[in-house]
Amino acid sequence: MTEPEQTLSEQILELADAQCSGIITESEMETLEQLLTNHPEYRQEYLNYVFLHVGLTGVATSGELLSAKAIEKSILPRDISHTTSQKPLHLWITQTLCILVCLFSIGLFLFLSKNEQAGVPPVVADKTSQYYFDENTNPPEEVATLSQTVQATWELLGNNPALTKHFQPGTVKLTSGNVAFAFSGGADISLASPALFGMERKNHGTLFSGTLSAHITESKLPFTLETPSVEVVDLGTEYEVTVNEAAETFVHVLDGQVEVKPRRRLPRFYWNFDQREESPLTDTISGNAISIGKNAKRIPGLTGSGAVRFNNKPDASLLLGNGGGKEVGTGDYSVSTGITVEALVITEWQTPNEPQKNVSFDYDEIFRKEDGSYRILLSFQNDDRASQTQIPDVEKGPCLSFGLFLSGMGYNELDMPLDGKEGRPSLDEIRDGKPHHIVATYNGWTGIKAIYIDGKLCMNHRFPVGTMIISGGPAPAVIGNLISGNFETLVGREPFSGVIDEVAFYGFALDAATVAQHYARVQQGKDYFDGQLNNFVMQEKQGGNVLLNKGEKMKFAAETGEPIF
């Protein structure tokens, strides 16, 4: 029988064992050093192994090389004469040499940690977790400044944020009076109470409810105002907009011209992997190419002609690019009032507490874009960060995690336990070898964050209405892995194990009925859009936009954004 190929983890731990036993050869030492240099994701596992063998865990957590006194107190026998009297001298010398070898290995680890390749952010982990969090991304730029308040009672949504004259992305709740803001993109916005208004970017705002007036001064870019059903784009103008309790939008142009268009109802990206085998993989909508890691293999589709298998190795990934993002809040992966990540998967994930050789840390990413705290992730995780990023708190254990940064709330994850309770699948049920339809959504218009499995809502949590997502930036979006750093020094850290197909990314939240419809189509062997996506894209490009000129008024329907005459 052919011996199974040794994994990187197994190879590193085998070399570490030889090192701590004092039998490692010079060539093996060079191999170990090279492996730890090229694969920093295994360094913590290596160091934990060394600590386990020499009993240094307590004194090495400072991240500094040990002093002679620390070594003497923590490793060497306190009463050497007594110890040597109990053991042959040559045995004591051998053990001491092994300890010194292992101390050298710690030095090697720390040396490598301090000499990371440029552009690869450091691993940030708390005391109980091995999550990879890149916290180096700069916060979003200032969006607006306060111009005026008139008998106003108002607040920012979130965890008691202080009111100042300078605003990053966030949502204002006005309960009485009036308040005015100057957007850094050139728009002056005045709110009349009661109103709920989101400040997204320097040239983009959202009116959840209430009335505002907008006057465009020296805008270099069009100012876009989003409502529940339409986008109002100025063309150098002055206008008023109202969103009533029925979520209908009223637009009144006071000067100049505005363009009103229905909000998009199709995905921004859709990767069905159905391109011919000799052709490169691309996004079905934009045609953007996908960079395929060597351990991501194209196979027959779960639906359609193609899918991708991932084998849980660092270079098993599909690199999608950053969508044009340069800083937080920019690019095609920047979303604010809603998001959906949808995929069809067969998972073979193994959790750390299972009796499988060398599984000490293994999180499987379905989709991730690691823009520091402003990341987007959907992944299988063995949760051990209770009460730190979870909203709501759940018990430790295997879960499906959906993470976003929400304005006023910070980064948090909806962690759905895979426990078989309250309608949730168990771990064995989710990895039964069959395709499962997984959908994660957040809807800023309702505040609901949700996870669906096979067409059914399995878990949700409600945030305050109007709480917005902050996302986007320079990091690459990835299917089947976590990749961070610049494009010259990419490192895969949390590879998927299994098959992924039919991945879609939306800038809004799918409703429950649409999720159920997509799952029903998958069961029939169809794609989410019943083969009509190209037609839908053409229809959306062609249409429904309305130009309004000075003095004109129009009402737009809540659901469709269609004009009501």
> Using one digit for the tens of pLDDT, what is the confidence trace for 388-426?
788 999 988 899 999 999 999 999 999 999 999 999 999
Question: What element of type H or E holds 532?
Answer: none
State the average pLDDT over residues 202-211.
95
String of DSSP letters for 177-232: EEEEEEETTSEEEEEEEEEEEEEEETTEEEEEEEEEEEEE-S-SS--EEE-SSEEE
Q: What is the tens place of the pLDDT at every residue in 224-235? A: 999 999 999 987
State the average pLDDT over residues 68-83.
36
Where does CATH 2.60.120.1440 sit in the chain? Answer: 144-265+543-564
State the average pLDDT over residues 531-541.
87
pTM of structure:
0.77
Determine the pLDDT at residue 384.
62
Domain 144-265+543-564 in CATH 2.60.120.1440: yes
Which of 36-50, 308-322, 366-380 bottoms out in mean pLDDT, i.e. has the lowest? 36-50
Question: Given a cut of 50, is residue 199 above it in pLDDT?
Answer: yes
Could you tell me the two tokens for 27? 């060539």
State the average pLDDT over residues 75-85.
36
CA quadruple 127, 132, 137, 140: dihedral sign: negative
Determine the pLDDT at residue 76.
36
Determine the pLDDT at residue 11.
78
Comparing 67 with 515, which gets the higher pLDDT?
Answer: 515
Contact present, 76 and 82 (Cβ < 8 Å): no
Taking every pair of C-alpha atoms in the chain, what is the biggest distance, in angstroms?
Answer: 101
In the chain, count H helices and then E strands. 10, 30
State the average pLDDT over residues 485-496.
67
How many C-beta neighbours within 10 Å does residue 84 have?
14
Please give the mean pLDDT across all residues of the chain.
81
Determine the pLDDT at residue 48.
60
Q: Which residue has the tokens 């934009």?
A: 286
The residue type at 497: S
Determine the pLDDT at residue 34.
73
Comparing 93 with 484, which gets the higher pLDDT?
Answer: 484
Which of 137-141, 154-158, 437-441 bottoms out in mean pLDDT, i.e. has the lowest? 137-141
Distance of CA 253 to the CA centre of its chain: 39
Determine the pLDDT at residue 47.
66
Determine the pLDDT at residue 78.
34
Determine the pLDDT at residue 219.
65
Comparing 517 with 118, which gets the higher pLDDT?
Answer: 517
Q: What are phi and psi of 346, to 5 degrees?
A: -115, 115
